[in-house]
Amino acid sequence: MSDVTSIPVGGERPYQVLVGRDLLDELPGLLPGAAQAAVLHALPLREVADRAAATLDAVGVAPMLVEVPDAEAGKDIEVAADCWDRLGAAGFTRTDAVVGVGGGAVTDLAGFVAACWLRGVRAVQVPTSLLGMVDAAVGGKTGVNTAAGKNLVGAFHPPAGVLCDMSTLDTLPAVDLVAGLAEVVKCGFIADPAILDLVEEDPHRHLRELTERAVRVKARSCRRTCASRGRARSSTTGTRSGTPSSGTRGMRGGTGTRSRSGWSTPPHWAGCPGASTGRPPTGTAASCPGSACR
């Protein structure tokens, strides 16, 4: 592997974020044992998706190109349902995989499709926007938008690996590069002041280093989130930390945990008006002294 930076992300299922140029050849190595892989992408990334598919094909993993609507239009439950229909028609099994090629919208969708198919198959993310690289594709938060709001439906499903191929940024529209840089600067203020110096000097010249530094910040924050999720899980379900419990999977607010005796409620629902019914929090922060509704 030439000039590739590998950044580990911990948690129940640790994985690596690889940063470099022309990284698509690394894709098959992240999917050992897969017989087929669905490559989700939107039209602007068709060429990158084609290359990813060719790489998989070359090592005997049958690629299935799945084009989805671009940007937020793709983060839709109907689009996810179409993807599941395609996986079903192709006979996708537990060892097969989903690859997300695109900006944060596509990687959110691809992760969600993978999280739900057979209750979880491998996802590999190939983010092609800066925001996707430093934020959306790292950490395992996946989801779609609904009429009730953005990102309200989703699952926590860490990827099997993330490939940040800097060469894909060559075609990223300037406005989207700036959006990603805003996230990078945020990482600078929160955790790594050297980022601010590099941005001030020349963000284009230092783009790779900035990406790596911001991914490291995100990876550290993932470790903390995963650790606290593990603690919450073991204290609410009595399971060993690190043992997945399907009852507590989900995005913020989560769900109650079904036991033989009925519904128990996680501690962050404490005092929530909805908690005594065992239903998810109502979303009305004002009436909720717990943290679930905020």
Ligand X SMILES: NC(=O)c1ccc[n+]([C@@H]2O[C@H](COP(=O)([O-])OP(=O)(O)OC[C@H]3O[C@@H](n4cnc5c(N)ncnc54)[C@H](O)[C@@H]3O)[C@@H](O)[C@H]2O)c1
Write out the residues near ligand X by the rule CB under 6 A. Answer: 42, 44-45, 70-72, 75, 102-106, 108, 128-129, 131-132, 135-136, 139, 141, 151, 168-169, 171-173, 176, 179
Min dist. Cβ of residue 237 to ligand X (A): 24
CA quadruple 252, 231, 156, 247: dihedral sign: negative
Select 55 or 107, whichever has its Cβ closest to ligand X: 107
Select 3 or 170, whichever has its Cβ closest to ligand X: 170
Min dist. Cβ of residue 262 to ligand X (A): 32
CA distance 286 to 145: 24
CA distance 224 to 11: 9
Give the helix ranges, DSSP H, for 77-132. 77-89, 104-116, 130-131
Select 154 or 290, whichever has its Cβ closest to ligand X: 154
User: Minimal CA–CA distance to 95: which of 136, 62, 139, 55?
Assistant: 62
Min dist. Cβ of residue 224 to ligand X (A): 15
CA distance 258 to 288: 22
Min dist. Cβ of residue 46 to ligand X (A): 10
Min dist. Cβ of residue 275 to ligand X (A): 26
Amino acid 10 reads G
Q: Is residue 225 within a helix (H) or strand (E), and if so which, with residue range?
A: helix 207-237
Select 43 or 81, whichever has its Cβ closest to ligand X: 43
CA distance 18 to 8: 9
Select 162 or 293, whichever has its Cβ closest to ligand X: 162
